[in-house]
A and B are shown apart, each in its own frame.
Chain A
């Protein structure tokens, strides 16, 4: 393409994330903007140039708090960036963080911006309880009735079931078009690719073991501690269970299809609070301000598919991306596929290795091939670390950079499935 020739190269200067903090049945210590500010502050503090060079802030977030409208601007101002630094928020469900990176890439590549702070955040433990429509209607009438007599007349119309809250989190995790919960879409993939409960639990145990190993080896160097107002310090992701085992996971009941299903809370990603941000810069800015770089963002690709198998989104996005870059499976040194559900990651591997699926849905002549296990999610994934939906897309890109660095490898591909039936993929190269 003509315009491709004029696109500018985009570099990752630095990145940081908070520990991922598991939601424990009550709002956590941090709001989404608290998390984002904490992660970004570490980045800005260690920047070797003035923070004034930042042109804009782009944030992915699926459920900002009621005080966090256009949360990206809230974050920018809380960070003390100048009033003149614009900021916008993007929302693409589970890929919102990746979407923010893509927007940053685009704006840098096109020359609109030179230095962008981009990433994602979500405090899922703060997801609100909403009033149902009946209650809202009644309340509306109550507030507009002016006299005590009118108010008294309204009281008998109030019904107990009006008080039943709408749990925003559950709504968000249910497909609004087909009505399936995200877990049910994983059940669907398990059905279509013959993935057993044991396959899923095995995968989940590996995720925990890899993550626990990574903690002991201090592989998560991108994590910056976060401090709450009560004097607690949070240093590490707190959902990892080093003692996870097949036996323990086998005891859990299916959560989504309760009677006949196989997807449990144990082989699904955790509901978590967290934020991950990166500083991206054009080649020109890197030279001008002598910024260090850790990776090059080569390409980003999006795809859409049947919402009932949304978990296969990663390969739908990765296939055209690799084609565009003239790369094959073996050219990728390390992979990240976000672990929304064990079934869905296993499904991606199986579908790509399945000639029929590749022909019918990916426009390929034959099976694409099998991603080697030892190259996929080498330090565990969202099943162990948690899945703050707005942040995960950024987290897998940032962590993949660290994996490439550690292994002196060149190319990595990070991909993520998206509720509603989409997938996103980003190709990176280590510098």
Chain B
């Protein structure tokens, strides 16, 4: 029985079968039809055999246990029926596993996600390695679907409906120790005990982990209904049902059929079948692959940094330094005086305390972050990031001295958002060394980093910088050094249109609410207030100088009155202790379509211009940049994808209407007809 492409079988002297997944020709284990069919044959064989002590399923790859279903395969599904059949087949195979008479166990070392965890849940026991790489969860909702191989049934059976819903609806992953505390891992142990623990479970066959006794209450339909409506409210805070239907489907299914009888599996399969072929899911799957695409950009260089030197300990510089230290870099943080550096150290401590639970690891991160008033780190750093104030001469002088004392192999990077690299690098002997590494605020939350190529920046340096950005767990996006790069450039007309709307008398709550209904994570007014109106104004001026347009007078007058947004307590909104004072909704959404069209079409039109100017290499990268750098509604797949979905005719009509109402700024970009075919 040992002739399989993806699975390896071994029977030990205790008559335990060790079944290892080693999916052929790929780096990581995922589940597809072929892998599952082989698995079914193996389970059938085992079922026939006598005198076996147990079955232990593990991964033969160092890259983790099983990362889930093969997402690529999602894209090949044509309709909901096909999806249902596929899902149902998997369910039946897992049921066979569950029904084996011998004890079964999943031995988990590394990521165990989605379908991988569903397979593990169909085993009697689960033992996991308690290291940092081992993460467990059902993140399906992040792809617009929900678990389909019994996860929405077996997880609540194992740990209770409330804890299970929390994991499934949020899609969050947890480390092994947390999973053990929640209950769906029976033991989280260090590597040295992993096999011993697994064997002991098989031989001793302790009772399986079960939902708490009070979960029986959920057998009663009206109790499920009551809890269901509470769950819906909780999800509503994070995601609207019209944008993200999957979590609501999970709740609906549970309310409708519960988990007590086998009908639940059919309901689950039906529900995911529909979701799999929905636009939302298709777009979120697309976003997943865009993310993979950004990650893969780092493969062109094997640059490895150990020491990062950051100059400028302000909000950006300080937070960049803290992030790098969090991700394991030795970091020296330079500024002119201790008063500048000290608050950055405090912010870093807050970040570490939030991101790392272990006191010792927090201390280690603090020890890696070294205040460096004298700039001693310059000569040792592998990457030097400048984040001082936006002044050409200051930056030129700084880089001139940096070039003289930095290691020849060090990356010289500027975090500038407005000064062209090709002006800063004029003082350098080797201008090809200067690259832009442009972070977004707040650094810890924004996954995207723009890696900026000046005209003189060498491709090698650019590749090294991209590899560095990836190594600190950010998504690198290569862009051309042109004003605003990608994200700010496209966001700016959107924000300017928002100011124009305010000028015309639309209420700020109506504007923000319309944008959020469209799917933006924050309204444009909130964004402007959060970024700071002074920053908006200076970026706007900079861009208008290059691309034309006018600076809204309202913005200038607000800045001159020191109404700078959240940081000054007063912007478009009023803030108390850093919290926005809620304003009553001004209308019932009757202007939503007009507001949304005006905001989004400015953004879409600028996206066309950016593509025409080759600021980024492709429409896909543009979409990725706007989703990960500006939070553009992921379920719409990005601005260009959204425009393409509208279609040329619809798009042209919207532009024409807007142009006649609002004027020339809505003249569609010449690239429209090239991009939208």
Q: Mark A27-64, 1 if CB is under 8 A from B, else 0.
A: 00000000001000110011010000000000000000
In the assembled complex, the Cα of A233 lies from the Cα of B373 at a distance in Å of 12
| Interface flag for A26 (CB, 8 Å) | no
Contact of B366 (CB < 8 Å), options: A80, A229, A230, A232: A229
| Interface flag for A79 (CB, 8 Å) | yes
Contact of B338 (CB < 8 Å), options: A42, A48, A80, A227: A227
Contact (Cβ within 8 A) A46 B376: yes
| Interface flag for A86 (CB, 8 Å) | no
List the A side residues contacting B343 at CB < 8 Å.
Answer: 231
Given contacts A45-B377, A227-B338, contact A80 B330 (CB under 8 A): yes
| Interface flag for B173 (CB, 8 Å) | no
Contact (Cβ within 8 A) A79 B338: no
| Interface flag for B498 (CB, 8 Å) | no
Contact (Cβ within 8 A) A229 B377: no
List the B side residues contacting A79 at CB < 8 Å.
Answer: 367
List the B side residues contacting A78 at CB < 8 Å.
Answer: 363-364, 367
Given contacts A45-B376, A45-B377, A46-B374, contact A80 B342 (CB under 8 A): no
List the A side residues contacting B516 at CB < 8 Å.
Answer: none
Query: Shortest CB–CB separation between residue A53 and chain B, in angstroms?
Result: 14
List the B side residues contacting A42 at CB < 8 Å.
Answer: 376
Query: Shortest CB–CB separation between residue A233 and chain B, in angstroms?
Result: 4
| Interface flag for A158 (CB, 8 Å) | no
| Interface flag for A129 (CB, 8 Å) | no
Nearest opposing residue in chain A for B366, CB measure: A229
Contact (Cβ within 8 A) B346 A45: no
List the A side residues contacting B332 at CB < 8 Å.
Answer: 45
Contact (Cβ within 8 A) B346 A229: yes
Nearest opposing residue in chain A for B364, CB measure: A78
Query: Shortest CB–CB separation between residue B5 and chain A, in angstroms?
Result: 42
Contact (Cβ within 8 A) A230 B346: yes
Segment 267-312 of A: residues with Cβ below 8 Å from B: none
In the assembled complex, the Cα of A124 lies from the Cα of B347 at a distance in Å of 28
Q: Which of A37, A46, A48, A227 has the most CB of B within 10 A?
A: A227
Segment 364-408 of B: residues with Cβ below 8 Å from A: 364, 366-368, 370-374, 376-377, 379-380
Contact (Cβ within 8 A) A227 B371: yes
In the assembled complex, the Cα of A45 lies from the Cα of B373 at a distance in Å of 11
| Interface flag for B50 (CB, 8 Å) | no
List the A side residues contacting B372 at CB < 8 Å.
Answer: 45
Contact (Cβ within 8 A) A45 B363: no
In the assembled complex, the Cα of A229 lies from the Cα of B376 at a distance in Å of 22
| Interface flag for A235 (CB, 8 Å) | yes
Contact (Cβ within 8 A) B346 A80: no
List the A side residues contacting B364 at CB < 8 Å.
Answer: 78
Segment 342-369 of B: residues with Cβ below 8 Å from A: 342-343, 345-347, 349, 363-364, 366-368
| Interface flag for B339 (CB, 8 Å) | yes
Nearest opposing residue in chain B for A231, CB measure: B346
Query: Shortest CB–CB separation between residue A315 and chain B, in angstroms?
Result: 39
Q: How large is the interface on B (under 10, 10 to 19, 20 to 34, 35 or more residues)?
A: 20 to 34
Nearest opposing residue in chain A for B369, CB measure: A227
Given contacts A225-B373, A231-B343, contact A80 B349 (CB under 8 A): no
Contact (Cβ within 8 A) B338 A233: yes
Query: Shortest CB–CB separation between residue A148 and chain B, in angstroms?
Result: 27
List the B side residues contacting A231 at CB < 8 Å.
Answer: 342-343, 345-347
List the A side residues contacting B338 at CB < 8 Å.
Answer: 225, 227, 233, 235
Contact (Cβ within 8 A) B374 A227: no
Nearest opposing residue in chain B for A234, CB measure: B338
Nearest opposing residue in chain A for B347, CB measure: A231
Contact (Cβ within 8 A) A232 B342: yes
Contact (Cβ within 8 A) B342 A227: yes
List the A side residues contacting B120 at CB < 8 Å.
Answer: none
Contact (Cβ within 8 A) B367 A37: yes
List the A side residues contacting B342 at CB < 8 Å.
Answer: 227, 231-233
In the assembled complex, the Cα of A37 lies from the Cα of B364 at a distance in Å of 11
In the assembled complex, the Cα of A227 lies from the Cα of B339 at a distance in Å of 10
| Interface flag for B159 (CB, 8 Å) | no
Contact of A229 (CB < 8 Å), options: B341, B349, B370, B371: B349
In the assembled complex, the Cα of A13 lies from the Cα of B363 at a distance in Å of 28
Contact (Cβ within 8 A) B367 A45: no
In the assembled complex, the Cα of A398 lies from the Cα of B370 at a distance in Å of 22
List the A side residues contacting B373 at CB < 8 Å.
Answer: 225
Segment 217-231 of A: residues with Cβ below 8 Å from B: 225, 227-231
Nearest opposing residue in chain B for A44, CB measure: B370
Given contacts A45-B332, A78-B364, contact A227 B345 (CB under 8 A): yes
In the assembled complex, the Cα of A42 lies from the Cα of B347 at a distance in Å of 21
List the A side residues contacting B377 at CB < 8 Å.
Answer: 45
In the assembled complex, the Cα of A233 lies from the Cα of B330 at a distance in Å of 20
Contact (Cβ within 8 A) A45 B341: no
Contact of B345 (CB < 8 Å), options: A41, A80, A229, A235: A229
List the B side residues contacting A228 at CB < 8 Å.
Answer: 345
Contact (Cβ within 8 A) A80 B371: no
In the assembled complex, the Cα of A372 lies from the Cα of B536 at a distance in Å of 66
In the assembled complex, the Cα of A231 lies from the Cα of B346 at a distance in Å of 4
Nearest opposing residue in chain B for A75, CB measure: B367
In the assembled complex, the Cα of A227 lies from the Cα of B332 at a distance in Å of 13
Contact (Cβ within 8 A) A225 B371: yes
Contact (Cβ within 8 A) B368 A45: no
List the B side residues contacting A230 at CB < 8 Å.
Answer: 346, 349
List the B side residues contacting A227 at CB < 8 Å.
Answer: 338, 341-342, 345, 371
List the B side residues contacting A41 at CB < 8 Å.
Answer: 367, 370
Contact (Cβ within 8 A) B380 A233: no
Q: Which of B346, B347, B367 has the most CB of A within 10 A?
A: B367
Top-6 shortest CB links A-B: A231-B346, A233-B338, A46-B376, A229-B349, A233-B342, A45-B376
A-B contacts, 25 listed (Cβ < 8 Å)? A41-B367, A41-B370, A42-B376, A45-B372, A45-B380, A46-B374, A46-B376, A48-B379, A78-B363, A79-B367, A80-B367, A227-B338, A227-B341, A227-B342, A227-B371, A229-B346, A229-B366, A230-B346, A230-B349, A231-B342, A231-B345, A231-B346, A233-B338, A233-B339, A235-B338
Known: A37-B367, A225-B371. 9 other contacts (CB 8 A): A41-B367, A42-B376, A78-B364, A79-B367, A80-B368, A229-B345, A229-B349, A231-B347, A232-B342
Interface residues of B (CB under 8 A from A): 330, 332, 338-339, 341-343, 345-347, 349, 363-364, 366-368, 370-374, 376-377, 379-380
